[in-house]
Structure 1
Amino acid sequence: MVRMNRRHFLHQALTLSAALSLRSGWASAGQTAAPRWIVMNWGFTEMALSLGIVPVGVSAPAWYRRLYAAPALPAQVTDVGLLYQPNFETLRDLHPTLMIITPAHGMARAQLATISPLLTLDNNSKTPLVQAMKNLQQMAAALGRPERSQRLIDQANARFEQLSQTVAPYKDTAVYLVHAVDVLHVALFSHGSLFDAVLQRLGLSNACTMKGGPEGAVLTTLDKLATAKPGTVVLLPSYPQVDDREVLNSRLWQSLGMLHASNIVHMPTGLDPSGGVQTAVRFAEFLVKGLVKLAKETRR
């Protein structure tokens, strides 16, 4: 009789323990369940990933992977269509808890709002680095974890300060931020671009003073560099194509003294001018490394 009571007691205790564990697991899962975000901008996708959020859907994710080296976008993320022409059936099937859009999605806003709450972030600012930090903060606020964005911003500011000290000896160096479009044309990034904002944070001077478009880019002919004031050329990655050897090896490029190999800092692929804070930091790191290396080679 005693053995039966003991067995019954143990059975009841184990059953109760299992139930409590399962309930605790449900509560924990409810508190930490990953948000189901859909992001319709590649720069915003970078920001979400840097906050530790893997979106359930992204516009044209293959293009994000092509233009951004980091953070990596996992393979399971669903393609929800073009940037400004999403597949509404796919959006609904993903059951998002939040969709992150830009002001350019305004015409579709009413329809998108029937699917989930919306967070509209500005991706067209005259102060892109400041705006990127604000966007990061708004995302973290939507997540309910404002400390995540503050940690990233503090780390970025500390890194900019450290790099500015490293590059201090080269602060009199005028820099041209050049993107090769084709054999005859280049885009120069001027005031209003993310990369120019990084130059300012590092205490460097942008040699291009022309007014740029929405991303601070100025399209001009290559021969304009022949008459431009002296400066170091920071050659940004060509996109969407990656291999720009045909352009760089052309007779026209080779004829311009400013484009001599000893005067060029080559930046790696995966740095998009529409990027966020992480892109800005990576750009700063590669830029400073390139300038220091170029200066050492010049002194030899």
Structure 2
Amino acid sequence: MNRRAMLSALLGAGALAATALSDVALAGDARLAPPRRIVVLDWGLTEMVLSIGVVPVGIANTRDFRRNYTACDVPESVVDLGLMFQPNMELLFALKPDLIVIAPAHATLRAALERVAPTVTLGLYRSSETPYTAARAETLRLARLLGCEARAEALLARADTVLGHARTALATLPGASGKPLFMVNFIDEAHVRVFGPNSFYGELMTGLGLQNAWQNAAHAGAFSTTGFDVLGSVPDATLLYMKPLASSVANMMKTSPLWHAMPFTNEGRMIGLPRVPPDGCVLSAMLFARVLVDAFGQTGAAKEHA
């Protein structure tokens, strides 16, 4: 059996191929070189591939990936394949990939992609109640398939160190440890997405010793979309939000009486954070930890000099 046929047989068995990745890597033919020409059509999985030192030959929408996934460096050699769910098939064929990495949301494209190269589905970490932990496990499985387990293990060890240092630092910073924190993204001037303990941000906050203010049992998912007025339900909470804000949201913050009635607004307990994607992987987790330490450190220093 040639290499392409074997990979197709091993990886094309279904949309849950991520579950079988470790078996593929451990039981596959040792004579076969790992895939080297990788195409990735999902941004979170692009981060995962880059994090273990593998540079894809092509990804979806390089410009917006660079804008949103700032923990990653994307070499100029990486080809932009266009939209995530409408990739340029002519370019894809021309790249001659030996593996295409997709997410469950690409299921309808899988048959067409399989005609180009063996295709594997990853990204199940997003539906986990512990998405960061699940992303770590998926990173290791991907690394086994691509023959770079040592790099993945080094990455995870570095992440443990970075998060451990961040937890120690946050425990000493005013307003961080022991205080309830809302973590939100603004959708528009009236609505926010509030991230709960089961989200990527939420799991990391818990691991960093921080208290998530969004603990309502009726909202057990990763996030809830709601009016910003509910943020006043925890009077002593600090609001963390991702920047940049849309101009309509920034204007609302200047003019809305309801917004100015929020306790965190009146008492200066609002912290804008640099962009970290809510469905990132290990590199984004380290960035989030650093962002929190920097934000609370700057806030504490500003209050000391006020």
- One fold, TM greater than 0.5? yes
Aligned with residue 204 of structure 1, among 210, 222, 228: 210
Per-residue deviation, residues 155-196 of structure 1 (Å, max 9, x unmatched): 101111111111224421111102122221111111221111
- Say if 2:40 is the partner of 1:78: no
- Does the CA-based 8 Å contact 2:34-2:145 persist in structure 1? no
Q: Matches of 1:139 and 1:33 in 2, distance apart?
A: 11
Is the partner of 2:71 in helix, strand or coil?
A: coil
- Does the CA-based 8 Å contact 2:181-2:239 persist in structure 1? yes
Q: Matches of 2:296 and 2:191 in 1, distance apart?
A: 24
Residue 108 of structure 2 is matched in structure 1 by 107
Is the partner of 1:292 in helix, strand or coil?
A: helix
- Say if 2:183 is the partner of 1:182: no
Structure 2 residue runs of 5 or longer lacking an equivalent are 1-31
Question: 1:128: how far off?
Answer: 0.8
Residue 62 of structure 1 is matched in structure 2 by 63
Question: 1:124: how far off?
Answer: 2.7
Question: 1:82: how far off?
Answer: 2.1
Question: 1:62: how far off?
Answer: 2.0
Q: Matches of 1:74 and 1:159 in 2, distance apart?
A: 25
- Does the CA-based 8 Å contact 1:181-1:238 persist in structure 2? no
Structure 1 residue runs of 5 or longer lacking an equivalent are 1-30
CA 1:145–1:285: 2 relative to 1, 3 Å: same
**AA matched with 2:201:** F
Question: 1:267: how far off?
Answer: 0.5
CA radius of gyration, larger in: 1
Per-residue deviation, residues 25-60 of structure 1 (Å, max 9, x unmatched): xxxxxx999921110111111122222222111112
CA 1:78–1:135: 2 relative to 1, 3 Å: same
Count of matched residue pairs: 266
Is 259-268 or 44-53 further displaced after alignment?
259-268
Q: Matches of 2:133 and 2:247 in 1, distance apart?
A: 29
Q: What percent identity do the matched residue pairs reach?
A: 30
Residue 155 of structure 1 is matched in structure 2 by 158
Q: Matches of 2:77 and 2:267 in 1, distance apart?
A: 41
**AA matched with 1:275:** G
Backbone CA RMSD of aligned residues: 2.5
TM-score, normalised with respect to structure 1: 0.80
CA 1:44–1:260: 2 relative to 1, 3 Å: farther
Aligned with residue 219 of structure 1, among 222, 225, 237: 225
- Say if 2:299 is the partner of 1:294: yes
- Say if 2:280 is the partner of 1:275: yes
Residue 35 of structure 1 is matched in structure 2 by 36
1:118-197 correspondence to structure 2 within 5 Å: 118-121=119-122, 122=124, 123-169=126-172, 170-197=176-203
TM-score, normalised with respect to structure 2: 0.79
Q: Matches of 1:206 and 1:246 in 2, distance apart?
A: 27
1:224-263 correspondence to structure 2 within 5 Å: 224-238=230-244, 245-251=250-256, 252-260=258-266, 262-263=268-269
Is the partner of 1:53 in helix, strand or coil?
A: coil
Question: 1:234: how far off?
Answer: 1.1
Question: 1:263: how far off?
Answer: 0.8
Question: 1:242: how far off?
Answer: 8.4
- Does the CA-based 8 Å contact 2:244-2:274 persist in structure 1? no
